[in-house]
Amino acid sequence: MRLLLIVVLAGAALAQGSPGLVDFVDPVRLREDLTYLAGDEFRGRNTPSPELDKAALWLEDAYRKAGLLPAFGESFRDGPRRPDLGRAKASLRREKATDQLRVAIGVDTPAEGRDLKVVLDAADLGDAAKGAAVIVIPDPGQSLRRSLRGRANALHRLGAKAILLSEGHAEVLTGVDLLPLPVLLVPDEVSAWSGEQVAAAAVDFEIPLSDQFYASNVGAILPGSDPTLTAEWIAFGAHYDHIGTGEADGKGDTIRNGADDNASGTIAVLNIARAFHQMKVAPKRSCLFLAFYGEERGFQGSRRFVANPAVPLRQVRALFNLEMLGRPDDIEANSAWVTGYSVSSFGEIVSKLESGVRFYEHPVLSRRLFAASDNLPFAEKGVPAHSISAGSLHADYHQPSDEVKKIDFVNYASVVRGIARVGWAMADGGPVPEWKAGTSYAAAAKRLRESK
Ligand SMILES: [Zn+2]
């Protein structure tokens, strides 16, 4: 209570002068936004899910209303498109009745097939799965319904284009959520072609894409005000997905709200963007504000971004990746730790700036969690990219109890303000980080600089 009072008074005192950056980071808005995004109606923001889409649309709308520009050409969203199954057709034929089976699949005209490869495990397909339509055949001892998602995920990672399932097994699709790959039903005889679990036909295979996203990143930009430095970028990012629903806890709650992980980071990025935009003059360097999908499913959104960047990656001077800012728990107030503190000068730079927040190297988590979030795909490309967190791995991590009521909003607001201040200093022409010599990231940065 006393803390709250002090914060309110400090805010009032500042408001008497001309408002500055910190005043534009509005604690009321932070609380409202986080409360909304972590609400039960988003059902834990799983990737992919209609609720994740709804969150993306809300974020897009918020960035547009805040006056930011879309990052992806005309669009605030970017991501893989869902296949248009209504327009996809599979036709299979067995060309000769020998061990060497051939499969031909075509949308209009059947493509020339290659030899059928039979393996027991999707992982054994290796390169053969790339671009292939893979026939999934149930193991008699196993429930295909239960294993289908795992197999679909594995095949998706291997680059497969579609799953072929015999018509006789169509019932396993009932009640299965959206899979990362389209499933095409083929005549029952296909499963008789092989007694094994998984068979792949590596063929040229095109399925028309719909205009619907499978899942999407949300990105917004604020052009820099300096004629030269505007070509350089400072990025702020956070994953907005979480892990959906699961087993009920003791209170019967199934929804993993992800209030701290990572509505807190997402809402921080959004409100930093709002504050930057409200300043009379934009910072000298351009700023990029990102919300990533699929972090919890293996950094899907950030990997998508670095593979199809909205701005040239070699012009991105730093990524502030914000993760779990709302639960100081066992760390001191007004402090935040930086992952990978020792591998670049990022931590040293932000810790020396006047911000009201102590940025430091956590004795355990700074090292352990550097490779555990969306900063990693950027770092691997050579972009100085670190996560900033203001909490610990609390007992509510990935549980239904990661709820809004556990967020310490007073500390959260001051940490977000501190990040806004150091982010602004860097964007407004301040020193930018470099990887420490001898690290693999420094080598990647060298390759990135030399790339066209
Ligand atoms: Zn997270």
Give the pLDDT confidence of 368-395 residue by residue, as tens digits.
999 999 999 999 999 999 999 998 788 9
- Ligand 1: distance of its center to the CA of 261 in Å? 5
- Ligand 1: distance of its center to the CA of 147 in Å? 26
Model pLDDT, residue 97: 35
Model pLDDT, residue 284: 98
CA atoms within 13 A on the CB side of 111: 18
- Ligand 1: distance of its center to the CA of 320 in Å? 14
- Ligand 1: distance of its center to the CA of 388 in Å? 11
Q: Clarify whether residues 327 and 422 are in a common domain.
A: yes
Output the domain CATH number for residue 124: 3.40.1390
- Ligand 1: distance of its center to the CA of 35 in Å? 17
- Ligand 1: distance of its center to the CA of 318 in Å? 19
- Ligand 1: distance of its center to the CA of 60 in Å? 20
- Ligand 1: distance of its center to the CA of 269 in Å? 14
Q: Clarify whether residues 120 and 256 are in a common domain.
A: no
Provide the domain count of the chain.
Answer: 2
Output the domain CATH number for residue 415: 3.40.630.10
Q: How far is 350 from 322, CA to CA, in rounded Å?
A: 14
User: Where does a domain end: 171, 186, 210?
Assistant: 210
* Mean pLDDT of all residues in 397-417: 97
- Ligand 1: distance of its center to the CA of 267 in Å? 13
Tokens of 329: 């728990």
- Ligand 1: distance of its center to the CA of 81 in Å? 24
Q: Clarify whether residues 271 and 389 are in a common domain.
A: yes
Q: Which sign, positive or negative, has the C-alpha torsion 185, 189, 192, 194? A: negative
Beta bridge partners of 435: 344
- Ligand 1: distance of its center to the CA of 56 in Å? 17
Bridge pairing between strands 385-389 and 286-292? unpaired
- Ligand 1: distance of its center to the CA of 105 in Å? 40
Q: Clarify whether residues 134 and 49 are in a common domain.
A: no
Q: Clarify whether residues 170 and 295 are in a common domain.
A: no
- Ligand 1: distance of its center to the CA of 367 in Å? 16
If we measure between CA atoms, which residue out of 358, 414, 365, 422 comes closest to residue 394?
365
Q: Clarify whether residues 219 and 131 are in a common domain.
A: no
- Ligand 1: distance of its center to the CA of 129 in Å? 30
Q: How far is 311 from 73, CA to CA, in rounded Å?
A: 10
- Ligand 1: distance of its center to the CA of 370 in Å? 12
* Mean pLDDT of all residues in 295-304: 94
- Ligand 1: distance of its center to the CA of 224 in Å? 29
Question: What are the tens digits of pLDDT across the range 208-259?
Answer: 677 889 899 999 999 999 999 999 999 999 999 999 999 999 999 999 999 9
Model pLDDT, residue 181: 78
- Ligand 1: distance of its center to the CA of 243 in Å? 10
The residue with greater pLDDT, 175 or 305, is 305
DSSP assignment of 318-334? EEEEE---S--TTS-TT
Q: Clarify whether residues 366 and 240 are in a common domain.
A: yes
- Ligand 1: distance of its center to the CA of 240 in Å? 8
Question: What are the tens digits of pLDDT across the range 144-165?
Answer: 777 778 888 888 888 887 787 7
* Mean pLDDT of all residues in 86-100: 48
Q: Clarify whether residues 313 and 426 are in a common domain.
A: yes
102: domain range? 83-210
- Ligand 1: distance of its center to the CA of 184 in Å? 34
Q: Clarify whether residues 310 and 391 are in a common domain.
A: yes
- Ligand 1: distance of its center to the CA of 223 in Å? 28
- Ligand 1: distance of its center to the CA of 168 in Å? 40
- Ligand 1: distance of its center to the CA of 351 in Å? 23
**Given pLDDT bands bounded at 50, 70 and 90, which one contains residue 87?**
low
- Ligand 1: distance of its center to the CA of 278 in Å? 28
Q: How far is 387 from 393, CA to CA, in rounded Å?
A: 14
- Ligand 1: distance of its center to the CA of 322 in Å? 9
Q: How far is 303 from 293, CA to CA, in rounded Å?
A: 10
Model pLDDT, residue 1: 39
- Ligand 1: distance of its center to the CA of 233 in Å? 23
- Ligand 1: distance of its center to the CA of 258 in Å? 8
- Ligand 1: distance of its center to the CA of 386 in Å? 13
pTM of the model: 0.78
Q: How far is 77 from 72, CA to CA, in rounded Å?
A: 7
User: Where does a domain end: 193, 210, 227?
Assistant: 210
Q: Clarify whether residues 302 and 409 are in a common domain.
A: yes
Beta bridge partners of 336: 359
**Given pLDDT bands bounded at 50, 70 and 90, which one contains residue 141?**
low
* Mean pLDDT of all residues in 46-68: 97
Residue located via tokens 């007694």: 195
Q: Clarify whether residues 125 and 231 are in a common domain.
A: no
User: Where does a domain end: 191, 210, 229?
Assistant: 210
Q: Clarify whether residues 247 and 385 are in a common domain.
A: yes
- Ligand 1: distance of its center to the CA of 242 in Å? 7
Q: How far is 242 from 424, CA to CA, in rounded Å?
A: 28
119: how many CB neighbours lie within 10 A of its CB? Answer: 18
- Ligand 1: distance of its center to the CA of 256 in Å? 12
